Amino acid sequence: MRSGPGVGPVTAGPVRSGTTGEHISPGLLRILDRLDDTPAEIVTELGETLRQTPLGVALTGDTTRYTGLARSIGYRWFTDPATRAQYVAEDHAFLSRMFASGLRELATLRGTGSRAAYCAELLREGSEEFRRLWDEHEIGIRPNEVKRFVHPEVGVLELNCQRLLDPDQSHSLLVYTAAPGSESYERLRLLSVIGTQSLR
**Is residue 147 situated within a structural domain?**
yes
Nearest partner of 16 among 69, 59, 66, judged by Cα: 69
Measured CA to CA, the distance from residue 33 to residue 53 in angstroms comes to 7
Q: Which domain holds residue 60?
A: 26-194
**Is residue 167 situated within a structural domain?**
yes
Q: What is the pLDDT of residues 169-187, one digit of tens each?
A: 899 999 999 999 999 999 9
* pTM for the whole structure: 0.86
Q: Tell me, what CATH number does 41's domain have?
A: 3.30.450.180
How many structural domains does the chain have?
1
Q: What is the pLDDT of residues 20-67, one digit of tens each?
A: 578 999 999 999 999 999 999 999 999 999 999 999 999 999 999 999
Backbone angles phi, psi at 53, to 5 degrees: -80, 160
**Is residue 20 situated within a structural domain?**
no
